[in-house]
Amino acid sequence: MDSKKIYLTKEGLQELKKEYEELNTSKRPLVLERVSQARSMGDLSENAEYVAAREELSFIDGRLGELEELISQATLIEENHHNGSSHVVSLGSKVFVTVKGKKEEFTVVGEWEADPKEKKISHESPLGKALMGKKVGEKVEVEAPAGKIAYTIIAVH
């Protein structure tokens, strides 16, 4: 992993810690037991259960390592950390915009928490980059496959 800052909301960090705890205390011990049982079945070279259990264990250990690194390097996005003004878009902002006559709402988050289905956009995404530092009333244009899309910021919380 590179040394790029990892921005997370408090909820995002809690989710990662919860996943880490679940993998470490529940899933990993179960898979270790499967490896142990499969090993006791004899010839490991033709033992599909042993191979599958080892692969799953390897995946879990890899994810645990990734989670440890993310958690240790996380920079928390402060709620209401809007440079003294809730009118400027920054990490953690809830941004209300109009686009093609419709109202939309987005939350600007770090890339590890981005989830378009939940309207959580990364500050590194084209829309996120365009919105960062902007104020209520400003317009931003974002290049999309269908052409430029214009957004007008109507509120920032």
Residue 92: C-alpha distances to residues 9, 43, 85, 98 (Å): 7, 54, 13, 19
Query: How is residue 108 written in tokens?
Result: 């600007």
- The structural domains of the chain, with segments of one domain joined by +, span 6-76, 94-156
| In CATH, 94-156 is 3.10.50.30 | yes
The pLDDT-based confidence of 82 (bands split at 50, 70, 90) is very low
Span 8-63, pLDDT tens digits: 988 889 999 999 999 999 999 999 999 998 888 877 777 888 899 999 999 999 99
**Under CATH, which number does the domain 6-76 receive?**
1.10.287.180
Share of residues in the chain with pLDDT > 90 (%) = 67
**119 dihedral zone (left: phi>0; alpha: psi -120 to 50; beta):** left
Q: Give the predicted TM-score (pTM) of the model.
A: 0.72
83 pLDDT higher than 50: no
SS3 helix, strand, coil % of the chain, rounded to 5? 45, 25, 30
The identity of residue 111, as a single letter, is E
